[in-house]
Amino acid sequence: MLEVGTKAPNFSLKDENGDVRTLDEFKGKKVILYFYPKDSTPGCTNQACGFRDLYPQFEEKGAVVLGVSKDSVESHKRFKEKNSLPFTLISDPDLEAIKAYDVWKEKKSGGKTTMGIVRSTYLIDEEGTIVKAFGKVKAKENPQDMLGEIE
Protein backbone atom coordinates (compact mmCIF):
# COMPACT_ATOMS: atom_id res chain seq x y z
CA MET A 1 0.00 0.00 0.00
CA LEU A 2 1.05 3.55 -0.60
CA GLU A 3 1.63 5.77 2.40
CA VAL A 4 -1.00 8.19 3.69
CA GLY A 5 0.17 11.74 2.99
CA THR A 6 1.78 10.92 -0.38
CA LYS A 7 0.60 12.28 -3.72
CA ALA A 8 -1.70 9.81 -5.46
CA PRO A 9 -0.14 8.60 -8.73
CA ASN A 10 -1.94 9.94 -11.78
CA PHE A 11 -3.03 7.51 -14.49
CA SER A 12 -4.34 7.71 -18.02
CA LEU A 13 -6.57 4.69 -18.66
CA LYS A 14 -9.79 3.83 -20.48
CA ASP A 15 -13.16 3.66 -18.76
CA GLU A 16 -16.05 1.33 -19.57
CA ASN A 17 -16.89 3.45 -22.64
CA GLY A 18 -13.35 3.46 -24.01
CA ASP A 19 -12.80 7.11 -23.00
CA VAL A 20 -9.40 7.96 -21.51
CA ARG A 21 -9.73 9.07 -17.89
CA THR A 22 -7.12 10.51 -15.54
CA LEU A 23 -7.04 10.95 -11.79
CA ASP A 24 -6.16 14.62 -12.32
CA GLU A 25 -9.57 15.32 -13.90
CA PHE A 26 -11.14 14.76 -10.46
CA LYS A 27 -9.08 17.45 -8.67
CA GLY A 28 -11.36 19.45 -6.40
CA LYS A 29 -13.33 16.33 -5.40
CA LYS A 30 -12.68 13.54 -2.95
CA VAL A 31 -12.00 10.28 -4.77
CA ILE A 32 -12.71 6.76 -3.54
CA LEU A 33 -10.34 4.70 -5.68
CA TYR A 34 -11.00 1.03 -5.20
CA PHE A 35 -9.14 -1.88 -6.75
CA TYR A 36 -10.91 -5.20 -7.17
CA PRO A 37 -9.91 -8.56 -8.68
CA LYS A 38 -12.53 -9.35 -11.34
CA ASP A 39 -15.82 -8.20 -12.84
CA SER A 40 -18.93 -10.31 -12.19
CA THR A 41 -17.49 -12.44 -9.39
CA PRO A 42 -19.58 -12.66 -6.19
CA GLY A 43 -17.33 -10.54 -3.95
CA CYS A 44 -16.66 -7.89 -6.58
CA THR A 45 -20.35 -7.67 -7.45
CA ASN A 46 -21.24 -7.24 -3.74
CA GLN A 47 -18.66 -4.49 -3.39
CA ALA A 48 -19.73 -2.65 -6.57
CA CYS A 49 -23.43 -2.88 -5.67
CA GLY A 50 -22.63 -1.56 -2.18
CA PHE A 51 -20.97 1.50 -3.72
CA ARG A 52 -23.95 1.80 -6.11
CA ASP A 53 -26.48 1.76 -3.27
CA LEU A 54 -24.58 4.41 -1.28
CA TYR A 55 -23.59 6.51 -4.30
CA PRO A 56 -26.06 9.36 -3.62
CA GLN A 57 -24.50 9.75 -0.16
CA PHE A 58 -20.98 9.82 -1.63
CA GLU A 59 -22.14 12.53 -4.06
CA GLU A 60 -23.63 14.56 -1.19
CA LYS A 61 -20.21 14.51 0.46
CA GLY A 62 -18.53 15.68 -2.76
CA ALA A 63 -16.90 12.35 -3.54
CA VAL A 64 -16.61 10.29 -6.69
CA VAL A 65 -16.11 6.54 -6.82
CA LEU A 66 -13.74 4.89 -9.30
CA GLY A 67 -13.41 1.11 -9.56
CA VAL A 68 -10.25 -0.36 -11.12
CA SER A 69 -9.45 -3.88 -12.28
CA LYS A 70 -7.49 -5.44 -15.10
CA ASP A 71 -10.66 -6.48 -16.93
CA SER A 72 -11.27 -5.20 -20.46
CA VAL A 73 -13.31 -2.15 -21.40
CA GLU A 74 -15.98 -4.51 -22.78
CA SER A 75 -16.11 -6.55 -19.56
CA HIS A 76 -16.47 -3.34 -17.52
CA LYS A 77 -19.29 -2.14 -19.80
CA ARG A 78 -21.24 -5.39 -19.30
CA PHE A 79 -20.58 -5.38 -15.53
CA LYS A 80 -21.69 -1.75 -15.20
CA GLU A 81 -24.86 -2.25 -17.28
CA LYS A 82 -25.85 -5.52 -15.58
CA ASN A 83 -25.57 -3.98 -12.10
CA SER A 84 -26.71 -0.41 -12.93
CA LEU A 85 -23.49 1.07 -11.56
CA PRO A 86 -23.57 4.91 -11.52
CA PHE A 87 -19.80 5.33 -11.23
CA THR A 88 -16.80 4.94 -13.53
CA LEU A 89 -14.94 1.66 -13.97
CA ILE A 90 -11.32 1.90 -15.11
CA SER A 91 -9.73 -0.81 -17.25
CA ASP A 92 -6.06 -1.47 -16.43
CA PRO A 93 -5.01 -4.55 -18.46
CA ASP A 94 -1.32 -3.55 -18.38
CA LEU A 95 -1.40 -3.06 -14.57
CA GLU A 96 -0.27 0.59 -14.83
CA ALA A 97 -2.33 1.97 -11.92
CA ILE A 98 -2.59 -1.41 -10.19
CA LYS A 99 1.20 -1.54 -9.76
CA ALA A 100 1.55 2.23 -9.13
CA TYR A 101 -0.85 1.87 -6.19
CA ASP A 102 0.99 -1.24 -4.93
CA VAL A 103 -2.01 -3.60 -5.00
CA TRP A 104 -0.51 -6.28 -7.31
CA LYS A 105 0.65 -8.91 -4.83
CA GLU A 106 1.41 -12.56 -4.34
CA LYS A 107 -1.72 -14.43 -3.29
CA LYS A 108 -2.09 -17.96 -1.96
CA SER A 109 -5.18 -20.01 -2.69
CA GLY A 110 -5.63 -23.75 -2.43
CA GLY A 111 -1.91 -24.31 -1.99
CA LYS A 112 -1.08 -22.37 -5.17
CA THR A 113 0.71 -19.04 -5.29
CA THR A 114 -0.31 -16.55 -7.96
CA MET A 115 -0.06 -12.83 -8.58
CA GLY A 116 -3.25 -10.81 -8.40
CA ILE A 117 -5.02 -7.71 -7.19
CA VAL A 118 -5.45 -7.45 -3.44
CA ARG A 119 -8.83 -5.77 -2.85
CA SER A 120 -7.78 -2.32 -1.66
CA THR A 121 -9.30 1.15 -1.35
CA TYR A 122 -7.76 4.61 -1.22
CA LEU A 123 -9.39 7.88 -0.19
CA ILE A 124 -7.79 10.76 -2.07
CA ASP A 125 -8.48 14.37 -1.10
CA GLU A 126 -9.36 17.32 -3.34
CA GLU A 127 -5.66 18.13 -3.84
CA GLY A 128 -4.71 14.61 -4.96
CA THR A 129 -3.16 13.44 -1.69
CA ILE A 130 -3.84 10.00 -0.23
CA VAL A 131 -5.58 10.55 3.12
CA LYS A 132 -6.66 6.94 3.85
CA ALA A 133 -5.39 3.59 2.57
CA PHE A 134 -7.01 0.23 3.25
CA GLY A 135 -5.62 -3.12 2.09
CA LYS A 136 -7.34 -6.51 2.13
CA VAL A 137 -10.75 -4.90 2.56
CA LYS A 138 -13.91 -6.96 2.94
CA ALA A 139 -16.03 -6.59 -0.20
CA LYS A 140 -19.40 -6.33 1.51
CA GLU A 141 -18.29 -3.89 4.25
CA ASN A 142 -15.96 -1.66 2.22
CA PRO A 143 -18.56 0.78 0.75
CA GLN A 144 -20.16 1.54 4.15
CA ASP A 145 -16.72 1.80 5.79
CA MET A 146 -15.57 4.28 3.14
CA LEU A 147 -18.69 6.41 3.53
CA GLY A 148 -17.82 6.69 7.22
CA GLU A 149 -14.25 7.76 6.39
CA ILE A 150 -15.31 10.84 4.42
CA GLU A 151 -15.47 13.94 6.60
Is 49 noted as a catalytic residue in this protein? Answer: no
| 3 state DSSP class of 148 | helix
> Rounded to the nearest 5 degrees, what angle is found at the Cα of 84, between the Cα atoms of 128 and 89?
30
Pairing of strands 30-35, 120-124: antiparallel
SS3 28: coil
Spell out the residues 6+ positions from residue 107 whose beta carbon is closer than 8 angstroms to its own.
113, 114, 115, 116, 118
Catalytic residue among 32, 44, 123, 133: 44
Q: Which residues are catalytic?
A: 44
